[in-house]
């Protein structure tokens, strides 16, 4: 009888242990940190922690800066969203892959592109190393390749919401229908509530996942659509910036007189408002106001996500990286667009925070967005990926290593490059034409010193840093908004 009771007791204990195991919350693997990967579309350096242009009101960008390290001089590898994001996600330069234009997310990695046919995308590398991966919003050009994430929230199509009629700009400007593309460029207060913005829903999706429990570390990608045009956000964000207090960026009407012909071709954007039009129409301050309103709106959504992380059990074991895919010109160099190899188009925010990183540190040395991939791997304790062409920034953040040698390369189309180093910018176009700017005396890049003999040695040094490989255009990569790039692809790929 005693043996029977003992057997029953053992069986009962076993059943209870099984029940507890089944209903227990997952225990997070704290041996590796989580990653919160935040992309903000078309965000330039006007935010308060960097330039504080026109008294930009960005308390949550300030908050993130206080939590970690801000790079004030980070540069994209292409001043256009598609190739810039492809570079970050592949860890490869546009000159290596030939992805110079917009490429469908599912076609970046293809058997007929030798550089990308077997590349491992950044989130994929984390998944292969034991991470649960999630993503929502604009991360690649549209969202992400199919099945890349374990969980995908997708992306709302386009950059809405849109009013029934545009407020100001018709989207075509002086462009010719059937020849030039039509853009979303417009500005004004719309819609009425933050909850009607796609970014609000994306933030909600990310917030819900930050409050979950996981049995493995996670990689969570969140891609905000603003501040991409149209510059529409609710009225309350415009109210933060009275027109009478708005500054306009530095502008010189004859600034482009010393730009080589190829540079002028690249800057030919008839679908975008020109600075002269904005001045004459009285819209310049209104465009700047709308851009700043969009920045403050994104700052609000960022704050909601930071609140969620800080109130979660993941707060002390999560690295954050926030980046943008390029800068944005708000009248500099004659237009309102990215699309250039000048400073205001290539420079964008880059911020890191997390365990063992300094707090409130700013680094002014030029760095590349290409460094995001290897930096996150090192921070997370994962093996380096030998295909990465960028360099990790961990030693620079922790010990200031490499600051004196820091440099950044940007490419726009085949064989058009800009190098930023030692306070200088050197640009070389496909036909050998050059631009050179000394930022110590000319921060606005108004005076092309390429023919000035006192800079000959420095130009020679920077020219030696240009890529030795300049791949032809990837067959699936295109940029049809600009006649120059349509012609270049046909010419260099032999498809004329």
Task: Please enumerate in sequence order all residues whose Cβ is within 8 A of that of 300, keeping only pairs 6 or more positions apart, or say none.
Answer: 60, 194, 237
Q: How far apart are CA 362 and CA 156, in angstroms?
A: 34
| pLDDT for the residue 483 | 86
| Active site amino acids | 81, 141
Query: CA 32 → CA 130, 220, 427, 457, 469, distances in Å?
Result: 9, 14, 41, 47, 36
Q: How far apart are CA 168 and CA 273, in angstroms?
A: 10
Closest CA to 168 of 282, 268, 276: 282
- Tokens for 300, please give them: 């609000």
Detail the DSSP E strand segments found in 244-307: none
Length of the chain: 496
- Tokens for 58, please give them: 């960005």
Are 86 and 141 in contact by the 8 Å Cβ rule? The answer is yes
Which strands make up the sheet holding 350-353, listed edge to edge? 151-154, 132-137, 218-224, 34-40, 318-324, 350-353, 68-71, 361-363
CA 63 from centre of chain: 19
pLDDT, block means (10 residues), the chain with 496 residues: 45 41 45 96 98 97 98 98 98 98 97 97 98 98 97 95 95 86 94 98 98 97 98 98 97 97 94 96 98 98 98 98 98 96 98 97 98 98 98 98 97 98 98 98 98 98 97 95 91 80
| pLDDT for the residue 482 | 83
H or E stretch at 159: none
| pLDDT for the residue 361 | 98
Q: How many CA atoms lie within 13 A of 358 on its CB side?
A: 15
Q: How far apart are CA 473 and CA 115, in angstroms?
A: 12
- Say which residue the tokens 């909600």 belong to: 204
Domains of the chain: 29-406 (3.40.720.10)
User: Where do the H-state alpha helices sit in 34-174?
Assistant: 59-67, 81-90, 94-97, 122-128
Q: How far apart are CA 462 and CA 312, in angstroms?
A: 47
């Amino acid at each position: 009888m005693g043996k029977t009771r003992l057997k029953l007791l053992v069986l009962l204990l076993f059943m209870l242990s099984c029940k507890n195991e089944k209903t227990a919350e997952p225990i997070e693997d704290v041996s590796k940190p989580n990653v919160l990967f935040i992309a903000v579309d078309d965000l330039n350096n006007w935010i308060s922690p960097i330039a504080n242009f026109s008294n930009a009101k960005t308390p949550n960008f300030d908050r993130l800066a206080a939590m970690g390290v801000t790079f004030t001089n980070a540069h994209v590898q292409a001043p256009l969203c598609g190739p810039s994001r492809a570079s970050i996600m592949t860890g490869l330069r546009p000159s290596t892959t030939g992805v110079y234009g917009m490429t469908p997310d599912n076609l970046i990695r293809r058997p007929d592109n030798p550089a990308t046919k077997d590349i491992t995308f950044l989130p994929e590398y984390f998944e292969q190393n034991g991470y649960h991966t999630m993503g929502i919003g604009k991360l690649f050009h549209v969202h992400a390749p199919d099945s890349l994430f374990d969980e995908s929230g997708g992306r709302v199509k386009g950059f809405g919401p849109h009013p029934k009629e545009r407020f100001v700009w018709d989207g075509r400007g002086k462009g010719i229908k059937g020849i030039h593309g039509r853009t979303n460029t417009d500005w004004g207060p719309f819609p009425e509530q933050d909850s009607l913005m796609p970014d609000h829903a994306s933030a909600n999706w990310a917030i819900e996942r930050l409050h979950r429990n996981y049995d493995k570390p996670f990689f969570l990608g969140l891609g905000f659509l603003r501040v991409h045009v149209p510059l529409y956000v609710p009225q309350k964000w415009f109210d933060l910036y009275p027109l009478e207090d708005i500054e306009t960026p530095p502008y010189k009407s004859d600034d482009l007189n010393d730009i080589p012909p190829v540079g002028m071709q690249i800057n030919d954007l008839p679908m975008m408002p020109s600075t002269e039009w904005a001045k004459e129409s009285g819209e310049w301050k209104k465009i700047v106001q709308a851009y700043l309103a969009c920045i403050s709106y994104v700052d609000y959504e960022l704050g909601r996500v930071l609140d969620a992380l800080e109130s979660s059990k993941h707060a002390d074991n999560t690295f954050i990286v926030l980046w943008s895919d390029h800068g944005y010109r708000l009248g500099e160099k004659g237009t309102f667009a990215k699309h250039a190899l000048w400073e205001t188009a290539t420079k964008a925010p880059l911020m890191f925070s997390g365990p063992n990183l300094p707090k409130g540190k700013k680094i002014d040395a030029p760095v590349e967005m290409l460094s995001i991939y290897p930096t996150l791997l090192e921070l997370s304790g994962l093996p380096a990926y030998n295909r990465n062409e960028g360099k990790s920034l961990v030693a620079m953040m922790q010990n200031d290593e490499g600051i004196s040698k820091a440099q950044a390369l940007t490419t726009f189309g085949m064989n058009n490059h800009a190098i930023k180093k030692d306070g200088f910018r050197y640009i070389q176009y496909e036909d050998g034409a050059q631009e050179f700017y000394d930022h110590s005396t000319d921060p606005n890049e108004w005076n092309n010193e390429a023919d000035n003999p006192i800079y000959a040695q420095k130009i020679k040094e920077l020219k030696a840093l240009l890529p030795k490989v300049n791949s032809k255009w990837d067959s699936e990569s295109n940029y049809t908004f600009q006649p120059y790039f349509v012609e270049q692809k046909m010419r260099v790929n032999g498809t004329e």
